[in-house]
Chain A
Amino acid sequence: MATTISKPATLVGKGIRRQEDPRLITGTAVYVDDIKMPGMHHAAIVRSPHAAARIAGINTEAALAHPGVVAVFTGADVKNLGAVPCASSLPGLRVPHHHLLAQDRVYYTGHPVAVVVATDRYVAADAASLVEVQYDPQPAVADPEKALAAGAPAVHPQWPDNTSFTFHQEGGDTGQAFRDAEIVVKQRITSQRLIPTSIETRGVVAEWRPGEKSLTMFTSTQIPHLVRTLVAGILGMPENHLRVITPEVGGGFGSKLNVYAEEALMCYIAKEIGKPVKWVESRRENFQATIHGRGHVDYYELAAKRDGTMLGLKLKLIQDLGAYHQLLTPAIPTLSVLMMPGLYKFKSISADIIGVFTNCVPTDAYRGAGRPEATHGIERMVDILAAELHMDPAEIRFKNFVGKDEFPYATTTGLFYDSGNYALPLQNAMAQVDYAGLRQEQATARAAGKLMGIGLSTYGEICAIGPSAAMPAGGWESATVKIEPSGKVTVMTGASPHGQGEETTFAQIVADELGVDIDDVMVVHGDTAVVQYGIGTFGSRGTAVGGAALFYALQELKAKIKKFGAMLLGSDNVSLVGGSCVDDATGKSVSFAEMAVAAYHAKTLPPNTQPGLVATYFWEPPNFTFPFGAHIVVTDVDRETGRISIRRYVAVDDCGKIINPLLVAGQVHGGVAQGLGQALWEEAVYDEQGQLITGELTDYALPKASFMPLIESSHTETPSPVNPLGVKGVGEAGTIGCSPAVVNSVVDALSPLGVRHIDMPLTPQKIWKLIVQSGGLS
């Protein structure tokens, strides 16, 4: 027994390097496509080249006759299996039955029609082209507003109005607000369709073990446990006979927060053929058949007093759902409605969502999922109001912010904002750019005929998703902490990450709480046979819900280990200090390892104490968290070419307490990059016939190294009272704050030409046309 104990330095709050990284820089990380099994077969999927067609017949004879082909599956084979699940439930929601393979019709380009299974990947691909599908093409509609027009082609013939649902939400009295208004501004604002484009596409390997009557599926997903429950349901098999393993995941951004037909198909096929089967999505398939994001057409009306006080906000939200509901498709626009007031004190809001079917791949969660759309809307509207009133956009924001003493703040949309000081990030960002000086510089530049813009966005977001009562299913998260007999610590988290670095942040939390070396902590995730149930990583919930579950599991474990310490020290008054237990009276101590040995050898036990050192905690969050921040973007627009140059990008974000500033900075950078992608370059374009024009990377403008401005990132730190770590979440903040700041900046630059709004993406061609149309070409 030692007698001197020093508490190690705390790791929470430090920018330590990631535990994950050594395997990533050496090519030793294992992703789904790296998995090879003896006897493994390969699947290729036959997809529809039409956006809408009847299937008159399918002839698989030539494909089946191709050497090496072992089976071809079509819609008829899987007709009686369950449907691809939609977890959202809204009143009156129309949910088309989403078979694993098309039955008598196809509804979007890329719709899976058949699966060819062969001994070899090349054979499978060759034979897929031998499957003869007779299509009878039908009229298609790809634009949600056109789909609502009278006489539009019906995506699903049984619902000729192409409407899946309408949803109304009202808070306060908007009628009164608009009667009291001294000014009303209106604007149509779109958030275009985007393609999430994780660099690792989706992939599945499934293996059937007949002896155990069990299936093992490797899949690249953000939600392994939900995939297990729901795929078992589709297949009608006992859930405890399906093991889902999520190895390294090469990016998700919401696109892998889903349950896909291919996951169930590969499980079904592995069992049917009695061999392991692998399918890895091609990039073209990824663009055509993995969910897209956004797809909003929003009509806003904002009522205000002439002093800039905002009174009421109305929104008609047309959501392009695509042809089917994936897991959360209809729920995403409801998140937009929840966050439509932004950081401002609205007395009333009114929103109507129209969920519209189109002959396109379904939309669903993409980084931000509903909140970027809402933030883009309110932040554009505030700027439009400021311009009408000839007020500074900063001034109007300060005037309407929820005050720092008003938390928890009940919004008109039924939320309780947890904590905040909304003015502070904006003040900091303004000081950082010398806002007054910039406005002077802008006046000089304008006098010289230059187009210089200053754009603000002050965003709020809803994170730590979320309380179960507000979720389609559970919204809690789980953690198990196990101190092994050797004193090493294993954590099993249900929050399965895909690049966020939870193996590091969670190990930091453990190291601090238990006083052990971070290298003695192993964080395990993504295996349903190892990890207790979990929900997953999305909605900026990994640390704010999963980390909180871990914290509470650690408290239970600490209480238990302290009992063993007290027993070994023969004292009732002991404290855990660092990794040891200390007798408060004598200063004598026992080490972590000694207590672990005592707990497992169990020769004597403290009263009412079980052997072993394992604690599991399922934590139900009492509320969401609400991060916030301010972004300022300074742009110069070239009159001759329409090219936008970002001169400054300043982001001041408040994500609550920061566990690891390096990882937070990475999330902010990445989030801003994806926001810039939406603001400036990216758009999923379908033509009138529903063909995806931006079908590959050559046509879809993903941000590259040369596109990125320097992001000047800093933070304010307002702890959240919702969880014991005080964290709020940061995965989506950059994306949410970015696009309105960029668009506000460019509109500000073009405002001398009379430009009041521009829809994204702000391509040089679009900007140049606007300059020409407004007579601004010099």
Chain B
Amino acid sequence: MATIRFTVNGKASSVDTEPERPLLEVLREDLGLTGTKYGCGEGQCGACTVLLDNKATVSCVTPVRAVEGRRIVTIEGLAEGGRLHAVQQAFLDEGAMQCGYCTPGMILQTVALLQLHPKPTDAQVVDGLNGNLCRCAGYHRILAAVGRAAASTGASTGTSTGKGGGQ
């Protein structure tokens, strides 16, 4: 057992736990942040994606000891003061979800992508989202949502609309 301290969604957290436990399970079970989802436990589907110091990270294969002193953002921490994050709003506007299970991971992956590439090319969008699986296969709408989010948060000119955004 160890005490691990880190920041989640802007709040200091401390958990007494086995240091090798996956971050996913600590978030869900110890901190009650169930918006982060288990999909495979092997880092292959992206459903458990969170931001770790602004970088998209698959929490199912991240031991909690690795987040000591670091900043985590989960889907619950994106909206501020009741106002949706631009990426959440873009997913809502595009209707970029069906069953919704992959959606939190998709949204956080997008937030990280747009921090890295505020005006991503189509190739960067596809590449950025390629580790997140959607079996309802709403990829067209998801990619369109990324484009919409980039347009709403980035500069007013020249933002990609994302591959396959049209009907």
How many residues from B make CB contacts under 8 Å with A? 55
A697 CB–B CB distance under 8 Å = yes
A200 within 8 A of B: yes
Known: A251-B98, A697-B40. 6 other contacts (CB 8 A): A24-B103, A27-B104, A282-B41, A498-B99, A670-B137, A705-B143
> By the criterion CB–CB under 8 Å, are A674 and B137 in contact?
yes
Does B31 touch A at the CB level, under 8 Å? Answer: no
Inter-chain contacts of B93 with A (CB < 8 A):
17
With both chains docked as a complex, state the minimum distance between the C-beta of A496 and any C-beta of chain B, in angstroms.
13
The answer to whether B74 has its CB under 8 Å from any CB of chain A is yes
Query: Which residues of B36-82 are within 8 A (CB) of A?
Result: 36-42, 44-45, 47, 74-76, 78-79
A500: B residues at CB distance < 8 A: 98
List, in ascending order, chain A residues with CB within 8 A of B41's CB.
282-283
Residue interface bits A185-202, CB-to-B below 8 A is 1, else 0: 000000000001111110
**0/1 interface trace, chain B 115-136, chain A, CB 8 Å (1 if under):** 0000000000011011111111
B142 is an interface residue with CB less than 8 A from chain A? yes
B75 A669 Cβ-Cβ under 8 A: no
A704/B76 in contact, CB under 8 A: no
Within 8 A of B (CB), among A149-173: none
Q: How far is the CB of A666 from chain B (nearest CB, A)?
A: 6
Which of B44, B103, B107, B140 is within 8 Å of A697, CB to CB? B44
Contact of A25 among B39, B88, B99, B141 (CB under 8 A): B88
Q: Which of A24, A697, A698, A703 contacts B97 (CB 8 A)?
A: A24
Structural contact, B40 and A705, CB atoms closer than 8 A:
no
Does B156 interact with chain A (Cβ within 8 Å)? no
The answer on a CB contact under 8 Å between B74 and A698 is: no
- Shortest beta-carbon distance from B80 to chain A in Å: 12
A89: shortest Cβ distance to chain B, in Å? 32
A501 within 8 Å of B (CB atoms): yes
Closest to A501 in B: B98
Q: Which residue of A lies closest to B97 (CB)?
A: A24
A691-709 interface bits toward B, Cβ cutoff 8 Å, 1 = contact, 0 = none:
0000011100011111011
Chain B positions within 8 Å of A, measured between CB atoms, are: 28, 33-42, 44-45, 47, 74-76, 78-79, 84, 88, 91-93, 95, 97-104, 107, 126-127, 129-143, 163-164, 166-167
List residues 352-380 of chain A with CB under 8 A from any CB of chain B.
Answer: none
Q: How far is the CA of A281 from the CA of B138 in the complex (A)?
A: 24
Indicate if the CB atoms of A20 and B100 lie closer than 8 Å.
yes
Distance A25 CA – B98 CA, assembled complex (angstroms): 11
Q: A20-B100, A26-B35, A26-B75 are in contact. Are A710 and B91 (CB under 8 A)?
A: no
* B126 CB to nearest chain A CB (Å): 5
A194: min CB distance to chain B, Å: 12
Verify B95–A22 contact, CB threshold 8 A: no
Partner of A248, one of B75, B100, B132: B100
**Interface window among A28-36, A437-445, A507-515, A610-618:** A28-36
The A239-291 residues at the B interface (CB cut-off 8 A) are 248-251, 253, 280, 282-283
Chain A residues near B36 (CB-CB < 8 A): 27
- Contacts A199-B45, A283-B40: A34 and B99 contacting too (C-beta < 8 A)? no
Docked pose: A669 CA to B143 CA in angstroms? 13
Chain A 370-392 interface 0/1 with B at a Cβ cutoff of 8 Å (1 = within): 00000000000000000000000
Query: B75 and A708: CB pair below 8 A?
Result: no
Distance in angstroms from A623 CB to nearest chain B CB is 28
A-side interface mostly: loop
Q: List the 5 shortest-distance A-B pairs measured between CB atoms, nearest first.
A: A27-B35, A673-B137, A250-B101, A499-B99, A24-B100
8 Å CB contacts to B: which residues of A639-676? Answer: 662-663, 665-666, 669-670, 672-674
Contact between A21 and B95 (Cβ–Cβ < 8 Å)? yes
Which B residues touch A196, using CB under 8 A?
Answer: 135
Bound CA span A698–B40, Å:
10
Given A199-B47, A665-B167, A706-B127, are A697 and B99 also a contact pair (CB < 8 Å)? no
In the complex, A713 has a CB within 8 A of chain B: yes
Query: In the bound complex, what is the Cα–Cα distance between A500 and B107 (angstroms)?
Result: 20
Once the chains are docked, how many angstroms separate the CA of A22 from the CA of B75? 12
Q: A26-B79, A27-B35, A199-B101 are in contact. Are A670 and B136 (CB under 8 A)?
A: yes
Chain B residues lying within 8 Å of A248, measured Cβ to Cβ, are: 99-101
> Is A18 in contact with chain B by the CB < 8 A criterion?
yes
CA distance A670 to B92 in the complex (A): 18
Q: Contact partner of A704 among B40, B133, B136, CB < 8 A?
A: B133
* Pair A25/B91 contact, Cβ less than 8 Å: yes
Q: In the complex, are the beta carbons of A669 and B35 less than 8 A apart?
A: no
A209-256 residues with Cβ-Cβ distance < 8 A to B are 248-251, 253
In the docked arrangement, what's the CA distance between A23 and B100, Å? 9
Enumerate chain B residues within 8 angstroms of A251, measured Cβ to Cβ. 98-99, 101, 135-136
Whether B95 contacts A17 by the Cβ 8 Å rule is yes
Contact A670 B100, beta carbon cutoff 8 Å: no
Taking the closest CB of chain A, its distance from the CB of B139, in whole angstroms, is 5
- Using Cβ atoms and an 8 Å threshold, which residues of chain A touch B104? 25, 27
User: When the two chains form their complex, are residues B137 and A669 in contact, meaning their CB atoms are under 8 A apart?
Assistant: yes
Q: Is A27 touching B42 in the complex (CB atoms < 8 A)?
A: no
Q: Indicate if A772 sits at the interface (CB-CB under 8 A).
A: no
Return B52 CB to nearest CB of chain A, in Å.
17
Q: Is the CB of B99 within 8 A of A200?
A: yes
CB distance A17 to B42 under 8 Å? no
